[in-house]
Structure 1
């Protein structure tokens, strides 16, 4: 065993056990456990001996011992070849790795290059796509692709732009696009798709495209097939182009062409189109005027066939026509005079206009011509009229006429202007209108304003004073602009008229109509006008006024015993004393004879104070008038009886107030004269009567209680020439009510509008029936009164027209009567209404002429046809010199200004003779016939037999 084991023996027992175990191991060739766990010695083992005994060194001993004679390992045995092989393999691996890395690097570079190329291509494609989208937007185009097999529909941003949406069209489904096509266009689109798919041919169509904002485009779409993404299944592609503007332009062009074609064909002026020297087309007017049956018959001719061999100046028509057309081709337009020949050979003059126009890449001549036969005759007539007017202007003595050029220099100066301005023609020509007025204190600014107003509004009116040969003359002037036929401003026309005598006549008429010539006090007419105004103010401002009616006691005795001159002097003194007694705001007037009235306005707001003030004024007047009057060698004594009416107390009129004061005056006389009395009526009873009247009046029209009476009008030959319609109210309890008792209530309540419409309609209908009944007997017109409220209505003209339509009457049968006070309110508006109705044939009359303003200045402006002399003037023309003179003046004035006069209130043959001698043309009054019903009027005046008898009786 020695040599096999060595080391320290830890235990005899264990040593024995190990030896026994070793033997067993040897016998069994199994591994044993050595007890040698550690030793300070190096253990040596002989590998050859152990191999000889087929022993294996356990691993636990192998770690602690050195094995001698150990056989070399496979590695030790083959180390050099192995190492050499490893070195070779390593070298080959390194070379392979290097080669692999080189190849890999190249591949990476290729991949990177390809990636960059792909990126550049993608970027380029993106740029191309953006450019395409931008180009489509700018070109208002869009496109789409539709894979019908996959159901995928894609569109470009341009198409989204056209649809005015930023979202994909319904999730890449064709339905999204179809939603933008109106119904009929959607059907046409799908039909086009089916046609393309069936025939594999591209197709174009025009349809509408609805946008998100609600607007609609017109687009042209091209659709075709192309190879799909899979290379075999065809797909659809569409290109959409917005042609809205072009479509609109083409539509307008077609409409314009159609319009001008129709204008060409339907024009009453003859026209044709010439290309080269042949007719291309002509209109029917040309064929008709030239006597050809149709346009085709005309256009088959050569233009030379429509002209004589030579023109009036001797030139050959054919050569001259060539020259005229050559000029038109060269200059673009040419106008000249020509002589045409009709089919029947007759010649007539024309004015020809040739205009060069483009036609199918070349030029053509558009020709329009007009027959100047009538124009030439008109020119000759105009020349004759011009010469005639020159003669009139030269001989006119009343109107001075001056004409200037556009620079304001005088170019025409009539002989009457020399007399009016006291300036000879040779000094006036070349000067300005301002030079004529410079020495008359007319400012440069006012002069320029007048000229400017004339150009803007059509005229400038003015009034000026002229000193002609030491006499002051009143002149009315009017400056109007002068325009040429093309509306180009050419200068001014100044017309001046010496109206001195007219103004004096106007002032005289106004004075005689409103003032008492003896006392120079206002007369009844002016006083009543002032009383009307005072009554309106009193009601508006709720204050009280009074009228004092004065009658001189025993004046008739003085006048009869001492004579009219003494009586007139006494009346003038009485008037003077009354004026000196009154306040500045009070008015005194003479009613006639020895009757005076005082209007004491705005006395107080309470009745007691007003009565007290009126009483004090009346006593002051009574005492003043009772003082002696030294007249010539006489000392005269008169006393006044004074009646007072305080107003307003209810709804009394001015006439009522005057009657109340008159009644109170008689009470003063009955009480012993030289006294003052107040009128104290029952206010409640008057108010109840008024309200009852208004209530009944509201139903009068619907109950057929209103009736028209007619008073005939005759001319100087005693022939029936018209009638005036007069309103009556057939009251169920009061009987016939006259208009002065209810018309003012109708105006206050507004019922006058409906009543006025009925009166106008009924009068016209009745007049129409009369004319149909007696067409040879009844001539002239029916006169209808119009109230202020009616005329002031904005629709007054419409109401009159409606009455004419409803009655089917001729407007020439109607005369509308209005008072001066109505016509002079808003003169411009009045003139406009009158002129509108006069354009239909309606006449206008001023009723009660002379009782109002009677202003000739306004009368000249108002386009009325006649004046009616008030019955108050006519009634006393045989006994009152003032009334006779006034009527004579009115008739003379009416004749001078071209107005027809109608005299009202003619009640005697003497009055008729007086008026006839002074040229009055129309008469109305009891002498010829009283107002009567329509049936009575027909029986008395319309049948021929009655007409003759009536004329003889009258």
Structure 2
């Protein structure tokens, strides 16, 4: 019997292993697994009942209680019920006298197994070997008691047949099966835990934002997971199985390997940052490396990589913003209610408020009180419409000082478009305002006198013309020039001149109304703009004249210049205006012309503008323009006046410039020489005339008839004192072939006064070339005889003003006599100019003069005419046709003819 029990138990144990396979196979479907387990347990019970221990017909004993109780204990209600139902159905099918008891034993096994399960779940019982053994003995002991209830069966008889071995074997079988099922359950639980853990790890790995690597301690990539392969330095397939240091740039690979070793050695996570150029661009990454515990070498680590490019950029922006916030500009951040949240150091430096004094307070605490409500309303309207306001504003410092600042306010809105903050940036522009005022003063005011300058006066004159035209009043523009100011400035110095100008400006300001404008145009020239004069022309002019006379009286008072008192009068020119009849430039020109007319008429007087004066100036300017045009053309020509002795022999000629204008005709030199001096054309004109004269003298030098002839040319002061006059003259002589010993430069005595030493130096340099010098208009200048002795002269020319009054003016005759004596003493040739009458010639001859130039002998004439005269005279002398008596007779005839002409004129 014992052998049969052991065989039954072994079969039951082997078949129970099927439970484990079904549970693993159907792990994903727990209800189906429980049903399958119930079927297996029930089938094993049926097999066991096919190999029973038969106690009597219809009474069998097998291991069904072991299986059913364990099925209920470890499989749960569903497994136990399915197994019990199968076993019960089969036992009922077998029938016999023990059918009821057998079915009851089946139900008892399931019920006790479920009871044990409930007690274990509550912690009342454990599933340890001893507990399982006791449970098995108890179940089968109760089964023996139930079997004993069958008729013809008793406890004694059953115990005699089965006895203690039955209880021990079934208890051991229950223990063994329980341990097997418990181990199977533990394995299943572990497998479920592993699956769950793996699922969690997969979920965690899938939730990693960027990349997950599994690496060994040598840096070899075992696994890689990412949701965006563009973040990988290379694609995933080329990364698996390769070492990081072989794939990544050397610096990045070494950095990660160092972090891997640190994580393995320390057992704590290692964090590192690096940057790579990926398919998605240059990215910054943060790597967190954790070693997996409990592994033998080679160790494994997990590297979780996160793309932190945005964070890095935000940090950079925050750093930049922080630096910008602490810039030279004052900055203030407020909430939507304009309560101050934050200020920077520049704010403190500008306003004087420390941050703790202003944080939490309204921004209006800085208001200066200079702006009205309308200003702030406009500010807020602009800010609400455009989220930006920029402009200048006055605020107040902590010490109460009001200062100007350049302020920019920007509104910060949330994603919903609601204003959350305001950011104000401001700069203290106090110094800029000061500089602006200084620049304005420099731009519109004279720095010495503080008066308006030309620019400001022009602007106000424009306005006055407009207002006068609209309102119907008249005005006056007065140009005031200090008389002989240059003399005071030169004699007493510029400091005295500045003091005089300052006092003059103060006098002018004090003499006019506050509504009138006093300006300084520079130098010693002032301008006064008088507005709101009467609309009637005569009354307006009278008012202007009264003011001008008052100004003359004021300006003529002595000026205190240091320890001296000096009088400096003024000349005033007035131009009246009414509306826009004249432009600003025309009006200023008119006043200027009238002022110069006042000076021309004797100074210290007032003159109103006369249109005739303007016409004269316009003609003068046109004349100067024509003169400049003539210099570039061929309008200038030379006429020649002979110089001869009393007998008419020509030994020299003077070249006289003539201007043949296409419309004006032949313009005399008295007009265009003065104009050339005035407009600065004299140097160019002098060079042109000298070139023409030298060219002609060169031609005469090559003609035997005229080779001995001297040619006199007038030289201006601008030529003589030019630094390159000597070099220019040498060049002209070389170009024209002019013999320098036949060339005479005529200089006026007055032009030598300004720089006698410089004139002597230039004349001596030209004298070395052979050029001769003559003093024209001698006796009209102021040179001393000592200077005259130093000059390298060859001849003197008695001025026509002395010849004109001969012989009646005894002073003129005495001067002529003195000049003749001086010329003889110095060994100079002497020529008398302007000889037109016989008595002039007779007087000059009586005083010893031998050379003459004038209309009595020859008038200035053209080149052809002068050459014809010189040719006939030379031919006559050469042929000997003119004898001494004949010469005397001719001389007497010229004198008589001159006297006859004079009588006719009288």
Same fold (TM over 0.5): no
Structure of higher CA gyration radius? 2
TM-score by length of 2: 0.34
TM-score by length of 1: 0.32
- Structure having the higher helix fraction is 2
